[in-house]
Amino acid sequence: MYASTEGIVASVNSWDKPGAVGFHGPLLRLVTRSTISRIVRIDPITEEVVRDPKTGLCSECAPNEAGEAIGVFINENWEGYFGDEKATNKKFLRDVFRKGDTWLRTGDLLVRDSRGWLWFVDRLGDTFRWKGENISTTEVRDILLGFKQLEDANVYGVQIPGLDGMGRAGMAAIVFREEYKNPAVYEKDVLKNLSSYVKKALPQYSIPRFLRVYENFDGISTVTFKHRKVEVQNEGFDPSKVREKLYFYHDVEAYVRLTAGMYEKIVCKKAKL
């Protein structure tokens, strides 16, 4: 099944289709209003809905095309997020398929296949593109945490100046377990072993190109223990702006210290990515 906390959308797989979160064929989409009746196109970089430049309206995704699930909103008396009017307003989409209509964003990426089966892809913001490939931050994080010396990880994509056409390069903020927190310890063997681990466990395009080592995630976690990504994405991988130690997956396929000189080589397109 699939449903949102706000209760505006819901979908149930009553047919035991393995992996699907529901079914919305053409007839069902026609007669239901309060369920996931539309999946709209979004910009993978800005994460905003794509609007037609002439009409200003949104467009529904084609079969097998991932997009954001939205639900028809009838009662705008919903109180939204307590004490955060800005966050509440960001949940609403207006003038979506016709002037005056209102829909609620779920923040979830779903796919509807050609037969009408619904498949959950990821949370919006938890996917980025690199060299033409879609990368799930959740999937990469889960694989990273299979490395026993890591306590926690937060995966996201960062832009590289001058390489916007390639998308975002993978970066992982990581916390080592207590006995490995000392740089003298993890720089000796642990980083080398981590390099070997990601090379075997991840496709080449999914390997985080950058590491940012934290003592803990207290400063980048919300009260619900979700990791903040926007702030660290904006800070990027410039060693002159980031106080934590940074490492780069070098062309020798090993994580090495990211120095100012190495940073210049990367932005000048002289380093292998």
For residues 12 and 117, state if they share a domain.
Answer: yes
Tens of pLDDT, residue by residue over 104-118, are 888 888 899 999 999
Residue 177 counted as domain residue: yes
Verify that 103 and 131 share a domain, yes or no.
no
Q: List the domain range (segments joined by +) for residue 72.
A: 2-123
For 166, phi and psi rounded to 5 degrees?
A: -90, -5
Q: What are the b/e assignments for 94-124, b being 16+ CB within 10 Å?
A: eebbeeeeebbbbbbbbbbeeebbbbbbbeb
What tens digit of pLDDT does each residue of 191-242 get? 999 999 999 999 999 999 999 999 988 755 543 334 556 667 778 899 999 9
pLDDT exceeds 80 at position 123: no
Same domain, 160 and 173: yes
Residue 93 token pair: 């989409």
Which CATH number fits the domain that encloses residue 90? Answer: 2.30.38.10
Strand stretches in 14-149, DSSP E: 22-23, 36-40, 67-72, 92-94, 102-112, 117-123, 127-130, 133-136
8, 62, 69, 90, 250 from 93: Cα distances, Å: 13, 20, 12, 8, 43
Residue 273 lies in a domain: no
**What distance in Å separates the CA atoms of residue 19 and residue 205, rounded to the nearest whole number?**
25
**Strand-strand pairing, 92-94 and 102-112:** antiparallel
81 and 143: one domain? no
**140 and 114 both lie in a single domain:** no
Q: Do 137 and 173 fall into the same domain?
A: yes
Tens digit of pLDDT for each residue in 131-182? 888 888 888 999 999 999 999 998 988 888 887 778 889 999 999 999 999 9
Residue whose pair of structure tokens reads 């490939």 in the numeric block: 133
The pLDDT value recorded for residue 153 is 92
Average pLDDT over residues 52-74: 90
Among residues 96, 123, 150, the one where a domain terminates is 123
Q: Do 119 and 187 belong to one domain?
A: no
Do 114 and 139 belong to one domain? Answer: no
Report the C-alpha gap between 142 and 140 in whole angstroms.
Answer: 5
In a domain, 152, yes or no: yes
- Is residue 253 within 8 A of residue 195, CB to CB? The reply is yes
How many domains is the chain built from? 2
